[in-house]
Amino acid sequence: MLKIIDLRDVQGDFEDVLPPIPDIDEGPVAVVKEILEDVRHNGDEAVRKYTERFDKISLKNFKVPADQLYDALERIPKDLREALEQARESIVNFHQHSLCIPKTYENDGIVVEHLVRPMKRAGLYAPGGRAKYPSSVLMCALPARVAGVESLVLCVPPGQDGRISEITLAAAAIAGVDEVYAIGGAQAIAAMAYGTESIKKVDVIVGPGNRYVSVAKRLVTGQVGVPSAYAGPSEVVVIADGTVPPEWAAMDVIVQAEHGPDGLSWLVSWDMSVIETVNKAIGEIVETASRKDEIISTLSTGGYAVLVNDPGEAVRVANIVAPEHLELLCEAPEDLVPMVFNAGAVFCGGLAPASVGDYIAGPNHVLPTYRSAKFSSVLGVNDFLRTSHAISLTQDALDRVAPYVISIATAEGLEAHARSVKIRRSKYDPKDAKAAAKIKGFVNRGE
């Protein structure tokens, strides 16, 4: 099932011989640009047109009535509701623990207070179509709630009946989502980024999606905030040494592949027998899998088994791939963790499959893909916060730093910058006293 790559005799950088990151071809980019511009200028009319074209459903109204969310919550199975509520508790507890708390910095009379403020309105995207993702609703909405975001807007592709699945609506109710719209794809991103007659513009957009959604999020960056992670098709690298059953490793390779096309599933080992037994187990599991077509589609284009010399080389491969999920199915995973630099999330040992992180561990499952883990991070409360600073000085502190400010400002040719400090020094020319008092009055009155 997996294409085998033998790196045991490779000298130098593995990146030269490993499969490169797939390019995002110009087709989706061109199509997405067209959708964004159409929605930007034609609003609901354009959204309606693309929903009919891509989702094969004609909708007059996109907004889901709030009572449908709570009706769905009452109708879903009791055990599912309990699981979603337990996931909510775990996710909220984790993100409250990681919440950035304002701190004050003081240096000899200069006081800087970190001001942390939530964004007002957050746009959330949850995939639909091939599968239902109530977990993505929780993962996107709850950190925003913990951050203090005032209003949460969720877009989900509608089904053939024009409705959103009950379990997704129930998750929205559990997470406290304020508005739900039956819109998917690039048109949903455009509607949230630019606003339409039905949907008020948001300040930030988060959530995983297909290539069209991911490209759209990149293209609207600047209009709204978009975390730098490329939350695209699912990825996993499984490093295995044979100390866990081959079925475990095989299943973990398949777990991410079952999301569908364009994903990546890698197995890395320094033992050829491990690769052979795991590969065989993958073939056997796929034959009876309910999502067989999706798994085969992913593995045929993005399934690799890499043979290396030792654990250090295995981690080198993982750092190049920079996967969304990295699983260390090894005897001593804690020995490898310090060598890991590029991964969305790391799962340590046979008892920590990525699925636990997907649903219940607490940390977010919206992770960087497409090798963006090299420069970006997992979704968290900080993605819904803005930071600024409140700076104040004593007279002694101003007198102390004034010569430095004046010197630099003068060198830059900014006379007003230099003078703004001069007139505030405790010893200054009397002719500036009136101007200084006037400035102080403006500051005191908040003008």
Distance CA(124)–CA(108), nearest Å, equals: 44
Task: Report yes or no on 30 lying in a domain.
Answer: yes
Q: Which of 176, 207, 227 corresponds to the end of one domain?
A: 227
Task: Report yes or no on 432 lying in a domain.
Answer: yes
Rg, the chain, Cα only: 26
Say what the pLDDT of residue 115 is: 92
Say what the pLDDT of residue 261 is: 73
Distance CA(232)–CA(238), nearest Å, equals: 19
Nearest partner of 72 among 132, 121, 131, 153, judged by Cα: 132
Say what the pLDDT of residue 439 is: 43
Distance CA(336)–CA(348), nearest Å, equals: 9
Task: Report yes or no on 380 lying in a domain.
Answer: no
Residues 6+ apart with CB under 8 A from 353: 248, 251, 252, 255, 327, 347
The number of folded domains in the chain is 3
Active site residues: 324-325
Task: Report yes or no on 12 lying in a domain.
Answer: no
Is residue 413 left, alpha or beta, with left meaning phi > 0 and alpha meaning psi from -120 to 50? left
Same domain, 363 and 299: yes
Same domain, 223 and 240: no
Phi–psi pair at 107, nearest 5 degrees:
-140, 95
Same domain, 265 and 316: yes
Say what the pLDDT of residue 26 is: 61
Nearest partner of 300 among 288, 315, 282, judged by Cα: 282
Q: Which of 167, 201, 227 corresponds to the end of one domain?
A: 227
Say what the pLDDT of residue 447 is: 35
Say what the pLDDT of residue 443 is: 39
Task: Report yes or no on 151 lying in a domain.
Answer: yes
CATH number of the domain within which 295 lies: 3.40.50.1980
Same domain, 284 and 427: no
The residue segments making up the domain with residue 273 are 232-374
Task: Report yes or no on 361 lying in a domain.
Answer: yes
Say what the pLDDT of residue 250 is: 96
pTM as predicted: 0.87
Same domain, 72 and 58: yes
Say what the pLDDT of residue 81 is: 96
Same domain, 134 and 247: no
Alpha helices in 99-243 (DSSP H): 134-147, 166-175, 185-194, 211-220
Say what the pLDDT of residue 24 is: 59
Task: Report yes or no on 8 lying in a domain.
Answer: no
Same domain, 82 and 220: yes
Q: Which of 374, 407, 428 corresponds to the end of one domain?
A: 374
pLDDT mean values, one per 10 residues, the chain (447 residues):
92 88 72 96 97 92 95 96 96 90 88 94 88 91 97 95 93 97 96 97 93 90 85 86 96 88 90 97 93 90 95 97 96 96 96 94 91 91 94 95 95 95 82 48 40
Task: Report yes or no on 18 lying in a domain.
Answer: no
Same domain, 50 and 92: yes
Phi–psi pair at 391, nearest 5 degrees:
-115, 135
Same domain, 236 and 221: no
Which DSSP symbol is given to 224?
Answer: B
Residue 155, classed as helix, strand or coil, is strand
Same domain, 65 and 36: yes
If you search the block for the tokens 């197995």, which residue do you land on?
Answer: 267
If you search the block for the tokens 């079952």, which residue do you land on?
Answer: 258
Same domain, 178 and 285: no
Say what the pLDDT of residue 430 is: 53
Say what the pLDDT of residue 436 is: 44
Residue 383, classed as helix, strand or coil, is helix
Same domain, 272 and 307: yes
